[in-house]
Amino acid sequence: MFNAMLVEDNILFRESLRDSLRLRFPSIEIAEAGNGAEALGKIDSLPPNLIFMDIQLPGQNGLELTEKIKKLHPDIVIIILTNYDLPEYREAAAKFKADYFFSKDSITLEDIVTLVKPMLPTKRV
């Protein structure tokens, strides 16, 4: 089983990404969180293999949250998806061990599919 989590406070963006992922990858379990505290609580109950992380979140930002998650769960792949494509955010994402960093304006659904597909377990016949 492959578990993903969407950590995004913009409900419309989160729902759109969730629906797109479910359409392309029906076997993925997808958890959702609108802030860092909610995400941390859900990680403990159902650890994801992959997290899509926004930077601007209520409470703590996604970069700080990424650092916390990576310290506790270094094998979780974290993809930063943000509207704030700034050099200092890219540097912080790398420092805090995010695996990928993309601007929401520049990444397409096909880019996401290409990124996620190799992470999924292969089916055995």
Distance CA 47, CA 17 (A): 19
pLDDT given at position 123: 63
The pLDDT tens digits for 30-81 are: 999 999 999 999 998 889 999 999 999 998 899 999 999 999 999 999 999 9
Structure tokens at 35: 């802030």
Q: What share of the chain has pLDDT > 70, as a percent?
A: 98
CATH no. for residue 48? 3.40.50.2300
Q: What are phi and psi of 27, to 5 degrees?
A: -85, -10
pTM: 0.94
Q: Is residue 122 part of a domain?
A: no
Q: Is residue 123 domain-resident?
A: no
Q: Looking at the 3D structure of the chain, how many domains does it have?
A: 1
Task: Tell me which residue range forms the domain holding 97.
Answer: 3-116
What is the separation of C-alpha 31 from the centre of its chain, rounded to a whole number of angstroms? 10
